Chains A and B, each alone.
Chain A
């Protein structure tokens, strides 16, 4: 008995009718990062970085340099007016090095190996033209890989996530704590920077697993036990929180035994993404849509996949893509449901800030509120089955398609078959014209 929704073989709305398998990696592929409109890089446990053409699936470069698995990757494109645009990518590895690569030439630009611990996250502050590496301490580097400043040793566990905030601030997730740092120009040196710890936020009960910036005013964190906190990005105060994703007891339509099977792992907030209105959270096997205005979960799919959802992304067209350890990628659409008074509302529970644990009363209050607000639900519009192992991440390329990477060492490029077909026709006729076959020979 599986409560996972299935769609069957007829998927009219699924545009991906063609796929290309990109082979090259020899171990789990964990990261995909977009370089520009048609290129992306992939990296994983084999320590190799591949550059791919997203249109043709052509392997552009194979970058060797790391001896251990890659732990973080970030694109760093300089768009200075004076110099021409160069696309760089920064990679950090478990061998305690960070390498900067030139994507145009496929060569290693520079390598830093003075780290005391593995760098677990990388963030580029385009505005300041610096980049930050987070491990057991936080370092600030400029383009030329000069260490500008660093914090003292923070923790052995290291920084798990970094996000840029307004006013030259960054938020770093260190265990259960969220530390706000501020970068400031140092007085004695023209190019020097200082980094200062500004605030420690200790509202989470468990390790912070995901950290995402929504807009200039808000950012969101999620923890291992399913807490979701919305923060004000300016004054770092808690705006709203949600911590009952996993608590099915509040939903009368869900069988109680499911609750017993819940383990902390399955309530972990694996990944967060957002658009202007909503935060989308991958929690355990489910997907939840949290509306920032209404400050409540407006739609959810409790068991969207057979196992943990690892990555989630919102597409411009109200669609949502999720990938999971079960090896599948699913496409969802957020739809507005026609109000039917008699129908029980499956989306269930929402919680205003300040409310504690849900109780019967709150639930009923919620029901009352729903009567005058639109109800949403996530509709499965398609699934992509190709990987034989956990899909770690994916990258949405718009018209070009979708790249997914997996523990089965493969990257799959999913494409719109119709579009590809007409593109091929275009190429065909171009080539015909080129060969001169299009001219009539008299």
Chain B
């Protein structure tokens, strides 16, 4: 019987898999009919079938003062992507929800036109008719020639999957804010330049007028002024006034960075790839490549020699003049930077939302495993700016003081409105205040949060309906607004930020069926007010609502799990926890209460009772949960009674497990362990992160090659064992491509020695030396017939005790015997796995399991050091071996794998950050055997 989790979504892999493993097509009568709405390449799991575009894209629109809302460009810039989707219509929609009008002009009580540094607004809206859901980011750019000096723009991320928009809202907001900040920085620069030119024009005009007036004065000896003279004087006066006005504008635009800098949170836009883009910016002022805001004032003064023009007294604003393009508005350099950023966003959020979420969770978890993650993971990949959500998740664990500090340091781009601008935007959006009032009265129970919030939303609906003069029914389902200038109590009230997407969604579900033609604003957060500060502040309360995070209850929390047998499908941490319990019970006496080494730097809080040590599963954090629960709405109902953390991990592992068992027969025996491990620590390859897009391709290819290797070579097991136990494997062959292919295949089994690149050398032509074995654990070596080749072979035989040699030409392997079980699971030649990436994930899951074993082994004090002074070394050794064999269930040579990994962990942990540490070579004196096909 097929149950729901049996059906597993496959993301389509563009790359053609090898024909070798492609199965013949099913007979027609057995095949499932294609999804009716699916076109070529459509994702049958897309939530909304009716969408007219094939994949997510980014749309930039402008509310032009001449022609109204118009689409400017899409990313990717491909007509196929948007398909039949009406961009013009959608532009109208998204531009029309920018109700936060920015006021520029003469405010009452001010003599001069005032620039409002309007913050961006972020809105989620859905259009059920079009099947499109969008995250819309409004921003305003300055243009001296535009009406009110402003040009409203918006960037929209458009997807057919509303869950994706809702759940990735925070990330989208962060990323789009970066893009927006980039645009605005460039715009300020361009605007200042424009102002300066205009000032020079005016100055010149004034001089000309002045001279004319003087001449007239001289020419005129009648003692009274002619009308002509009066006219000139008036003209002069108006020019003077205009100069003062423009100077004031210039002062305002220049003061912007300083105003911002007063906010400690303000992070000026800094291009991430300034060097790469140097060629783009080369036509600019050289200083432009360093557009950090504080330096901007200098940039503005660097205007190349400009010949002023005479300005007519009335420079009429007429409709036939051409408006500046976006590129002109923001200056080429910043425009290209923005486009890069948008392309980055597009790549980041490509793919199914489940996939993105899983990816984010596993990244977050992996990041926390600071002790072990270097072994099989690309750590540089983890270091690159992670989604903001995870930071908060990791840090928002109830330690307010620490949190505040940490997040301030680590949170990525934060643009925070100053109090002044906050006030001005509050004036524009009066709803905000009332909502806050409502929120602050909220009870703390989550159910009531929901219902309360629902009420809020209803209330808001009414409010916004009134405020927006759109003919059609636009329903704003949630709105959020706050600023850093708020006191903490105020900002805490913004808790429903997180709740709102869910509440909003449920609402959408009901509404959509009713009103076919409606734009639903699902959530709106004007300005960058969705600042992390809010989350930080709101987190403690949010967490306190959940029964499982409270530390006081820690002892009770895991009572059901004390029995290690039942931890089916739990995540890695709980697995570790249960193993530690086992360990505590059997190999370490209860008389030693302080034996345990908690996971260092993980920020976990182990609590200990009766000699049983538990590590609370803190790594799971609220945003991720929410994302998960949102992602699998069917399970939402269950979350009431169970710990969401547990539920989620079980859900995920369950689905993963099923998918695995359906694909991979060899994982049957250990499915619960491996799936548990894979759930949280296995880094699934992401199609998203651009930096690792190449890495992902590599992984896929490596996985595919590895699959072929284990199928082709019956001695794959000892070869893989060599790699896992730290014995250098040399792949010897004449054909470079073949050797490199084998090296690529085997590279996925090589543990890293440190936070550097993998110790893999794809191709070497000279004789190997001892130093090479220290550095490389997998080497592709050329077999040559030349005399040099003889030397190469001689060196190989000389150092044969440190090496396993895989001869790719004669298909032989010379290496120590392997009789363990781990590698058999890792590389079953009868495996049903067909895809490279799937196999890669399978490998990662088993390796992760090994890592956790190595971690336990490394950090169990009494396995390495005597309990008492008098205890002989032998008993420690016995205890150690017992632990490895009985507790960790390792057979024969598997012990050596874990010992080697443990050694790497030790070295990594001991190593001082500054020094690289001497690479050491460990080896065993064990006999080698020759394997043949």
Contact flags A400-442 to B (C-beta < 8 A → 1, else 0): 0000000000101001010011101111110110010111111
- The reply to whether the CB of A80 lies closer than 8 angstroms to some CB of chain B is no
B921 contacts A18, C-beta separation under 8 Å = yes
Enumerate A296-327 residues with CB–CB distance to B below 8 Å: none
- The reply to whether the CB of B596 lies closer than 8 angstroms to some CB of chain A is yes
| Interface residue from B606, B798, B922 paired with A385 (Cβ < 8 Å) | B798
Closest 10 pairs between A and B when the two form their complex, measured CB to CB: A425-B864, A11-B925, A437-B600, A424-B906, A441-B605, A10-B927, A57-B918, A9-B927, A18-B922, A386-B770
Name 23 A/B residue pairs within 8 A (Cβ), A-sorted. A9-B801, A9-B925, A9-B927, A12-B925, A18-B921, A19-B921, A21-B770, A22-B918, A385-B799, A410-B770, A412-B770, A425-B864, A425-B865, A426-B864, A428-B906, A429-B597, A429-B861, A429-B864, A431-B910, A437-B597, A440-B598, A441-B605, A441-B606
Enumerate A361-413 residues with CB–CB distance to B below 8 Å: 382, 385-388, 410, 412
B920 contacts A440, C-beta separation under 8 Å = no
Interface size on B, residues (CB 8 A): 43
A387 vs B923: C-alpha distance in the bound complex, in angstroms?
Answer: 16
A19 vs B798: C-alpha distance in the bound complex, in angstroms?
Answer: 16
A385 vs B607: C-alpha distance in the bound complex, in angstroms?
Answer: 50
A230: min CB distance to chain B, Å = 38
Most chain A C-beta atoms within 10 Å of own C-beta, residue among B605, B859, B906: B906
Contact flags B915-933 to A (C-beta < 8 A → 1, else 0): 0001011111111100000
Q: Which residues of A contact B923 (CB under 8 A)?
A: 17-19, 417
A216 vs B927: C-alpha distance in the bound complex, in angstroms?
Answer: 47
B799 contacts A431, C-beta separation under 8 Å = no
Q: B interface, by DSSP: helix, strand, loop or mixed?
A: mixed
User: A417-B922, A435-B600 are contacts. A428–B801 as well, Cβ < 8 Å?
Assistant: no
Q: Which residues of B contact A417 (CB under 8 A)?
A: 922-923
Task: Write the chain B residue with the least CB distance to A418.
Answer: B877
Q: Which residues of A contact B920 (CB under 8 A)?
A: 18-20, 57, 415, 420
A388 contacts B907, C-beta separation under 8 Å = no
Contact flags A1-33 to B (C-beta < 8 A → 1, else 0): 000000011111010011111110000000000
Q: Which residues of B contact A14 (CB under 8 A)?
A: 925
A131: min CB distance to chain B, Å = 34
- The reply to whether the CB of A56 lies closer than 8 angstroms to some CB of chain B is yes
B604: min CB distance to chain A, Å = 8
Q: Which residues of A contact B247 (CB under 8 A)?
A: none
B925 contacts A382, C-beta separation under 8 Å = yes
Q: Which residues of A contact B594 (CB under 8 A)?
A: 438-440
Q: Which residues of A contact B607 (CB under 8 A)?
A: 440, 442
Q: Which residues of A contact B859 (CB under 8 A)?
A: 428, 432
Contact flags B516-527 to A (C-beta < 8 A → 1, else 0): 000000000000
Enumerate B592-624 residues with CB–CB distance to A below 8 Å: 594, 596-601, 604-608
Task: Write the chain A residue with the least CB distance to B912.
Answer: A431
| Interface residue from A21, A57, A428, A440 paired with B771 (Cβ < 8 Å) | A21
Q: Which residues of A contact B (CB under 8 A)?
A: 8-12, 14, 17-23, 56-58, 382, 385-388, 410, 412, 415, 417, 420-422, 424-429, 431-432, 435, 437-442
A422 vs B903: C-alpha distance in the bound complex, in angstroms?
Answer: 10
Q: Which residues of B contact A12 (CB under 8 A)?
A: 925
Q: Which residues of A contact B927 (CB under 8 A)?
A: 8-10
B327: min CB distance to chain A, Å = 52
User: A8-B927, A425-B865 are contacts. A432–B770 as well, Cβ < 8 Å?
Assistant: no
Q: Which residues of A contact B899 (CB under 8 A)?
A: 421
- The reply to whether the CB of B774 lies closer than 8 angstroms to some CB of chain A is yes
| Interface residue from A22, A429, A435 paired with B865 (Cβ < 8 Å) | A429
A231 vs B849: C-alpha distance in the bound complex, in angstroms?
Answer: 67
Q: Which residues of B contact A431 (CB under 8 A)?
A: 909-910
B833: min CB distance to chain A, Å = 35
Q: Which residues of A contact B606 (CB under 8 A)?
A: 440-441
- The reply to whether the CB of B712 lies closer than 8 angstroms to some CB of chain A is no
Contact flags B764-789 to A (C-beta < 8 A → 1, else 0): 00000111001000000000000000
Q: Which residues of A contact B909 (CB under 8 A)?
A: 428, 431
Enumerate B579-603 residues with CB–CB distance to A below 8 Å: 594, 596-601
B928 contacts A428, C-beta separation under 8 Å = no
- The reply to whether the CB of B800 lies closer than 8 angstroms to some CB of chain A is yes
Q: What 5 new A-B contacts, CB under 8 Å, besides A422-B864, A438-B594?
A: A20-B918, A385-B799, A387-B770, A427-B910, A428-B906
Q: Which residues of A contact B770 (CB under 8 A)?
A: 19, 21, 386-388, 410, 412
